[in-house]
Amino acid sequence: MRADASSFRQALAPIHRAGWPFIGAFFAAAVVLGFLWQPLFWLGLVATAWCVYFFRDPVRVTPVRDGLVVSPADGRIQAIREAVPPDELGLGDEPRTRISIFLNVFDVHVNRIPVDGRVVSQAYRHGTFVNASLDKASEDNERQVICLETADGRQLGVVQIAGLVARRIVCDLRDGQTVRAGERFGLIRFGSRVDLYLPDGAAVFVAEGQRAVGGETVLADLVSNEGRRPGEVR
């Protein structure tokens, strides 16, 4: 019985603080609609339950070792390709390996720091709200960019990108802040994308189509000389 209770508590992930106003609004709307027509209350209650699920903030176990780059978000590895970082990152105009992670409305949307280091700079850019699964979303969509630097001077770029439904990016970082891999730093509401720009020499450990777990999945290694790992659907 005690084991069952413990498993049940572990299955109930905490709620991110940014979600409570939305959860309250969804429930209030359900009550109001219920006065108009009772079946609407139950539909509103289902919507409230989904809102609770969306803002869940589960505990994660982060692999800790110099050089490891963990995923900044839950979702599907949509693309791994060479691309020029956004100008706001200040990482130059040479192409870097970019790992793009697409989050659907059922993924955990709390974002996490990929490496130990410090925040060099950050900037917000207004833009469009096209489908985040499209490649042009990296260039055209509204985004928050964060430049991180490791202790040995390597710089990485993390870009939170708003999607077709997502209209609010939350980032709690400040310039000069010291951060650790796996720490929470923000979220994107209701479907989105996160791009990660790696420094030269990083070995990528994931493949396109693979599912990533924020704060846990190792995306790359900054000190490994291992070649790219191919992926197979099995």
- Which bin fits 153, alpha (ψ -120 to 50), beta or left (φ > 0)? left
Closest CA to 81 of 217, 222, 195, 212: 195
Q: What is the DSSP string of the chain?
A: -HHHHHHHHHHSPPBPGGGHHHHHHHHHHHHHHHHH-HHHHHHHHHHHHHHHHHTB---------TTEEE-SSSEEEEEEEEEPPPGGG---SS-EEEEEEEE-TTS--EEE--SSEEEEEEEEE--B---TTSTTHHHHB-EEEEEEE-TTS-EEEEEEEE-SS---EEE---TT-EE-TT-EEEEESSSEEEEEEPPTTPEE---TT-EE-TTTSEEEESS--PPPPP----
Per-10-residue mean pLDDT, the chain, length 234: 47 82 93 92 94 91 95 96 94 96 91 97 83 69 93 96 74 95 89 91 95 97 84 80
User: What pLDDT, on the 0 to 100 scale, is given for residue 131?
Assistant: 64
Domains for the chain: give ranges and CATH numbers: 2-54 (no CATH), 68-221 (2.70.70.10)
What are the catalytic residues?
192
User: What pLDDT, on the 0 to 100 scale, is given for residue 178?
Assistant: 97
Residue positions counted in the chain? 234
User: What pLDDT, on the 0 to 100 scale, is given for residue 233?
Assistant: 81
